[in-house]
Structure 1
Amino acid sequence: MGLYVYAVGRTGDGELPPLQGVFDNPAYRLELEPLCAIVSECPSDTVRAERRHIAAAQRVLAALNAKFDLLPMAFGTVTRSEGDLRRFLDDNRETLTSQLQRVSGSIEMSLRLSLEVPDPIAYLVERTPALQAARERTFRSRRTPSYDDKIRLGQLFDEALRKYREARTAQVLAVIGASCAEVIALPVRQEKEIANLAALVSRSGLEQFEAAVEASAAQIDEDIAFNIGGPWPPHNFVQFDPSEA
């Protein structure tokens, strides 16, 4: 029978709480000092991304994250045998230990900034003289703008939006940076999104981080909404891909 792997951690971190994992099997530590893997028995080589399985994996990770340093594995990580997993831990001991040191004592928080306005294009044009002038040039005559004219105007808007995002993100980082061990800027996916940040925050410094976010929100454009989430396992700060091992 295979093993579902939730995370890699350290031995000697204290007793695990009772945890029911994927397929309702109990989670436990498989140890190879100084590392361990938190696993449960898995009757299948693959685990489908069904709601019940995702919820079980997240439940285990959330309980672990509250108390222990860990390197969370991607959902569906299954090893064929205990021997394979022990070889994985042994072969990658140095990298895994280094990554655990990186996230030591920390959890991940998410911070998203978004424009709470009906039309982000109009909002940005109103605040950007260069865009206003370009729009006037494009639409000043009664003729319908050409395809090339529209492309150029779209490119100018994209550049203005990029600069706006960068400036507001820098403004936020200047305030919250001291409360974080690391911050990563993740891709934004929607036009109204201004920033999508992952912050590595000390468990003991969570209140300081939240206060810094509140202070930053008070200083920035009032049309920008802040959405804070977490604590999460430090997925975005684990630079090791077990599938490549």
Structure 2
Amino acid sequence: MEKATIKTTGSNGRYLYAVVPGSQERVYGCLGINGGNVYTIAAKDVAAVVSDVPHQKIRPERRHFAAHQAVLKRVMLDGDLLPMSFGIISQGPKAVRAILSRNNKSVQQQLKRISGKAEMGIKVTWDVPNIFEYFIDVNRELREARNKLVQPNYLPTQQEKIEIGRMFEEILNLERERHTKQVERVMSKRCSEIKRSKCRTEIEVMNLSCLVDRTLLSDFEAGVLEAASHFDDSFAFDFNGPWAPHNFVDLEIDV
């Protein structure tokens, strides 16, 4: 962490990246949005990680998202943090301190929840050429229903096509649930909390966010390998992190 003089412009807003424990002054360098100097503004026993911004609205551009994430990554090196959502701007130091004071109780509760921990992600997909044909092969009920529709000289109705699509969707979700529970049983021993995120494509089996003790990340990785060993080559496992614990911070900041 740098020890430098904090130079600010009174007319600027303050962009909020995170809240960290402690009241000491900290300076992280010119990592912020538009190359802004990143530093802390403290109130009582917590501090906001901020940088000066000349405008009261930051466009959701890739470079701004990248700067936001770069700041969180740097701050994580020093310990715990509560990441803020992209785009939160306060009027100035006085307003930032007022925000911290108003939200002190909830901030302390959330800091306790994530103390010493980081977020890790697990993503599992079906690694098959065609997900529908895969389920035709492995599910007899779906296979028999499909075979009825493709028999010679048979013209399926629109309702029959809709029904087989509904059947496929139901089987897909049942299999997702079964496989997700299987992975959660293995990983629950290695995670403080696990949260599910919605699958975005048909080939996704699960997207899990895991709150993990930072001293046990190698144990988490071993757990992923153990979970993967229960699946065949039709599945692909991937894990990522450590990240700031976005999915485990339930903090409604009153700006």
TM-score normalised to the size of structure 1?
0.93
Matched residues in 1 for 2:243 and 2:209: separation? 10
Q: How does 1:39-50 map to 2 (within 5 A)?
A: 39-50=50-61
| CA offset digits 1:213-244 (Å, max 9, x no partner) | 011111112211011111111111111233x6
- State the secondary structure of the residue aligned to 1:212: helix
| CA offset digits 1:15-54 (Å, max 9, x no partner) | 5544521122211111112221001111110112233322
Kept in 2, the 8 Å contact 1:13–1:68? The answer is no
Change (3 A) 1:71 1:115: same
Matched residues in 1 for 2:225 and 2:218: separation? 11
Tell me the percent identity.
Answer: 34
- Of 85, 88, 92 in structure 1, the residue corresponding to residue 99 of structure 2 is 88
TM-score normalised to the size of structure 2?
0.90
Q: After TM superposition, give the deviation of residue 92 of structure 1 in Å.
A: 1.4
Q: Does 1:97 align with 2:108?
A: yes
Q: After TM superposition, give the deviation of residue 90 of structure 1 in Å.
A: 1.3
- State the secondary structure of the residue aligned to 1:156: helix
Matched residues in 2 for 1:116 and 1:14: separation? 49
Q: Could you say which residue in structure 2 is the equivalent of 1:180?
A: 191
Matched residues in 2 for 1:13 and 1:115: separation? 49
Kept in 1, the 8 Å contact 2:25–2:41? The answer is no
Comparing 107-116 and 20-29, the one that deviates more: 20-29
Q: How does 1:188-199 map to 2 (within 5 A)?
A: 188-199=199-210
Matched residues in 2 for 1:129 and 1:2: separation? 62
Q: Does 1:171 align with 2:182?
A: yes
Matched residues in 1 for 2:161 and 2:63: separation? 48
Matched residues in 2 for 1:230 and 1:70: separation? 15
Matched residues in 2 for 1:150 and 1:6: separation? 50
Change (3 A) 1:226 1:89: same
| CA offset digits 1:99-138 (Å, max 9, x no partner) | 1111111111111000111101111121111112222333
Q: How does 1:24-39 map to 2 (within 5 A)?
A: 24-39=35-50
- State the secondary structure of the residue aligned to 2:189: helix
Runs of 4+ aligned structure 1 residues displaced above 3 Å come to: 12-19, 137-141
Bigger fraction of residues in helix: 1
Q: Could you say which residue in structure 1 is the equivalent of 2:65?
A: 54
Q: After TM superposition, give the deviation of residue 81 of structure 1 in Å.
A: 2.1
Q: Which runs of 5+ in 1 are unaligned?
A: none
Change (3 A) 1:152 1:114: same
Q: Does 1:128 align with 2:139?
A: yes
